[in-house]
Chains A and B, each alone.
Chain A
Amino acid sequence: MRLEDATILVVDDEADLREIFAAWLNRNGCTVLTASNGVEALSILETAKVDVLLSDIRMPIMGGVELVRKVFERKLVVPSVIFVSGFGDVHPREMYGLGVEALMEKPLRRKDLLRVLDDSLMERDQLWRTPSAEPMAQNLTLEMDSLSAATQTCEFQLGRGGCCLTTQRALDEEKTIDLSIHFAQEDLLLRAQGTVRWYEQVSPQAGVEFQYLYPSCRDWVLDAIRERTTCSFIPGCDWDVSRALAARSGALQVSSASVREVFT
């Protein structure tokens, strides 16, 4: 989809920022809707068709994380979600798991915002066609028994924008990776270039966002992603939405230990 055809919902409690973002996007011919908090945004999402949700994280009444959680829970159709925040106070595993595909830091430039929006509106098929010119910072080769079993046991899961996988090898976060996973039973080989968005030693799991899929595996990976019902951008696998929800909303009632189990 082209940017000018898209409908974008801008959610920010700062009226000035809302106004500027709207002006920028209007200038590119987008249809822009605005909301000053999560509750307003939800009511818009329930009635209007929105292609991109561009939201602040810290907002009164209902913040960005709570908003995407509600979107996730209610299975509302929002093709892509982008966070804009002055504060990195959301864990990547949770964020990507809830379907957010990018976090942009304030302050931001118009051209950076447009680039991210362009990428998010592009079909994955298109987006994953160009290999990186740079060599990958790390590589990982895994052998798994079966794709279906691995998906069920959370050893490996595909999301809209990447995958989560189980590996004992410590991976560097925010570094590029060349990934090669062979599923013996189906005899399928996943070969991709991407970026490690999170790595957790305890689980031990990593979330990888794809940037390029090798032609040999493109068809089956895209089919598998289309078949999936999840709206996770990168699945959090054993990351449990209900537990996290309980932990957050009952923040006063739980001690941090149980929550850290989930997030660290």
Chain B
Amino acid sequence: MFRSVWSPHGSSFLWNPQLLWLNIASDSLIAVAYLLISVLLVRIVRGRRDIPFDRLFFCFAAFILACSATRVMLVVTLWHPMYWELGMLKAVTAIISLVALGLLWRSVPAILAIPIANRRAESVLENTNVGIFAVDRNWVFRYVNEDAKKLLKDRDLLGEDMWESFPGMTAETTERLQQVMATRTPAGFDSYYPPLDLSTHLSVNPWENGGITVCFSDISEQKRMQRELDRERVMREQRLEVLARFSAGIAHEIKNPMAIIHARASDLAELAAEGEVERTEIEKACESIVKTSDRAMQILRGLAALARQGPNEPMQEASPGAMVEQAIELVRGRYRAHGIHLESTVPDGLTPVECREVQIGQVLLNLLNNAFDAIDASPDSQRWVRVEACEGGPERLQIDVVDGGPALSTEVREHLMEPFYTTKPLGGGIGMGLSVSRAIATDHGGTLELRDCNGHTCFRLTLPVHAVQVEGVAA
């Protein structure tokens, strides 16, 4: 209806063909570009469901589409004066643009927040104390966080092949990783990487496109502490074992006198119950009881001396002669009863040593008990044990315990001081407690060595005359 009133827009260009074509070409191209842009926007939003602000995107698409339509209308109005239609189209475009503006306005804070959130996730990944890396299905590193780089000794691994970068991975770890890659089932396990002496706990999960992610934490320290604890436990058990063995020995020493006293007394009681007991009978029995109880008392006195000091006593000066004598006193009865000759050589004037006397006494006692067992266990033994003390170099005391038992085999010599190593079949054995004895010697800054002395076994204890501070486990 308006066509008759207005002239086409082309007349404003005086129908100049160049001007007309310039406008037509430009507007058409803009229209096509607008159309395609809006189509692509819709496709992007449809394809990526995880993109936020989809309404905003749709609105922009509609706005650009409206702009495209406006451009088309501008070309049409060159020949047809459809200015109302053009105006209405512009109005629609304006409304859509206002809606888009509103949506954009509202979304500004959220949009501004997007890069900040990503940075946070990244910074969390980089500050976990946990190494994280991801490899694709071809075992090529696709992501490595800072902690992983640090734990794996600062290597730039991106794009590298995992197996080539880390040769020497244990068979078990290799197998577990391959398993996750193949089965797509998450797994968690402890692993040790020998080249870097690194103990880790790995948490392996399937990742996109057939790859896997690996989170790992350094547990070397825990492992080390565990080993330390195990070592302490072994030492504790050994100490208990030594104590048990010592107690058993003492029990045996006491039981024989008790058996004699018991037999004498019960016999007297029985005889008395039956009738008259001869005076000489009573005298003889009582004499035996007194003599035997004295023997038991002597053993108990030795024990009491041992009990006076604890293992945490400070180091004090002690006379080597007295220590040797005390240890010998505790075993003398047993040696004599078994026909084993016990000899000690302690020169006068040996410098007193700063030590825990009771602990050194324990070591000597243990060595004497072992020598006794070695001789008693083998019929081919020469029945003697020698304890020889002397100055073993400047400021050092040396005590040798040599026995006439058979020479030790190389295998036994190698393992004798190891925890748990024992050579005797039942009821406690030779070698038991040697590791504890050695620990005591080490605690004192000294040594306990197994030596060969003219084909006989010799344990040599050396101690510094002056106490030294040694870090270690006190026995």
Bound CA–CA A255/B429 (angstroms): 11
Q: Is the CB of A17 within 8 A of B260?
A: yes
Q: Shortest Cβ distance from B347 into chain A, in angstroms?
A: 31
Q: Which residue of B lies closest to A91 (CB)?
A: B426
CB-CB < 8 A to B337: which residues of A?
13-14, 60
Quick one: which of B267, B408, B425 contacts A259, CB cutoff 8 A?
Answer: B425
Q: Which residue of A lies closest to B408 (CB)?
A: A252
Interface stretch among A102-110, A134-142, A158-166, A176-184? A102-110
Quick one: which of B255, B374, B378, B423 contacts A106, CB cutoff 8 A?
Answer: B255
Q: Is the CB of A17 within 8 A of B374?
A: no
Quick one: which of A14, A89, A252 contacts B412, CB cutoff 8 A?
Answer: A252
Bound CA–CA A24/B266 (angstroms): 11
Q: Shortest Cβ distance from A257 into chain B, in angstroms?
A: 10
Q: Is the CB of A106 within 8 A of B405?
A: no
B298 within 8 A of A: no
B256 within 8 A of A: yes
Q: Is the CB of B258 within 8 A of A106?
A: yes
A248 within 8 A of B: yes
From residue 226 to 250 of chain A, which have CB atoms closer than 8 A to chain B?
Answer: 247-250
A62 within 8 A of B: yes
Q: Is the CB of B252 within 8 A of A87?
A: yes
* A17-B260, A249-B378, A249-B379 given; A110·B412 CB < 8 A: no
Bound CA–CA A163/B376 (angstroms): 33
Quick one: which of B255, B263, B292, B377 contacts A251, CB cutoff 8 A?
Answer: B377
Q: Is the CB of B425 within 8 A of A263?
A: yes
User: Residue-by-residue, is B179-214 near A (CB-CB < 8 Å gives 1, otherwise 0)?
Assistant: 000000000000000000000000000000000000
Q: Is the CB of B260 within 8 A of A24?
A: no
* A60-B337, A108-B259 given; A251·B430 CB < 8 A: yes
A23 within 8 A of B: yes
Q: Shortest Cβ distance from A196 into chain B, in angstroms?
A: 20
A131 within 8 A of B: no
Q: Shortest Cβ distance from A94 into chain B, in angstroms?
A: 9
CB-CB < 8 A to B258: which residues of A?
86, 106-107
CB-CB < 8 A to B292: which residues of A?
16
B449 within 8 A of A: no
Q: Is the CB of B262 within 8 A of A23?
A: no
Q: Is the CB of A86 within 8 A of B259?
A: yes
A256 within 8 A of B: yes
Chain B contact surface mostly: helix
Quick one: which of B248, B408, B422, B425 contacts A247, CB cutoff 8 A?
Answer: B425
Q: Is the CB of A16 within 8 A of B423?
A: no
Q: Which residue of B lies closest to A107 (CB)?
A: B262
Quick one: which of A60, A110, A248, A256 contacts B339, CB cutoff 8 A?
Answer: A60
B409 within 8 A of A: yes
* A252-B377, A252-B378 given; A20·B425 CB < 8 A: no
Q: Give the interface residue-count category, chain A.
A: 35 or more
Bound CA–CA A20/B262 (angstroms): 11
User: Residue-by-residue, is B420-450 near A (CB-CB < 8 Å gives 1, otherwise 0)?
Assistant: 0111111101100000000000000000000
CB-CB < 8 A to B425: which residues of A?
247-248, 251, 254, 256, 259-260, 262-263
From residue 247 to 292 of chain B, which have CB atoms closer than 8 A to chain A?
Answer: 248, 251-252, 255-256, 258-264, 266-267, 270, 288, 292
Q: Is the CB of B267 within 8 A of A86?
A: no
A197 within 8 A of B: no
* A24-B267, A252-B406 given; A86·B252 CB < 8 A: yes
Quick one: which of B260, B421, B426 contacts A263, CB cutoff 8 A?
Answer: B426
Q: Shortest Cβ distance from A98 into chain B, in angstroms?
A: 14
B231 within 8 A of A: no
CB-CB < 8 A to B406: which residues of A?
252
CB-CB < 8 A to B263: which residues of A?
16-17, 20-21, 107-108, 110
Q: Shortest Cβ distance from B65 into chain A, in angstroms?
A: 87
Quick one: which of A23, A60, A87, A254 contacts B255, CB cutoff 8 A?
Answer: A87
B340 within 8 A of A: yes
Q: Is the CB of B423 within 8 A of A251?
A: yes
* A17-B259, A106-B255, A107-B263 given; A252·B338 CB < 8 A: no
Q: Is the CB of A253 within 8 A of B259?
A: no
CB-CB < 8 A to A90: which residues of B?
426
Bound CA–CA A136/B155 (angstroms): 75
Q: Which residues of B contact A (CB under 8 A)?
A: 248, 251-252, 255-256, 258-264, 266-267, 270, 288, 292, 337-340, 374, 376-379, 405-406, 408-409, 411-412, 415, 421-427, 429-430
Interchain residue pairs A-B with the least CB separation, the first 7: A86-B255, A107-B262, A60-B338, A106-B259, A259-B425, A251-B377, A107-B259
Q: Which residues of A contact B (CB under 8 A)?
A: 13-14, 16-17, 20-21, 23-24, 58-63, 66, 86-87, 89-91, 106-110, 247-256, 259-260, 262-263
Give 23 A-B contacts (CB < 8 Å), ordered by A residue. A16-B260, A21-B263, A60-B340, A66-B379, A86-B251, A87-B248, A106-B259, A107-B255, A107-B263, A108-B263, A110-B266, A249-B377, A249-B379, A251-B377, A251-B429, A252-B409, A252-B430, A253-B411, A255-B421, A255-B422, A256-B423, A259-B425, A262-B425
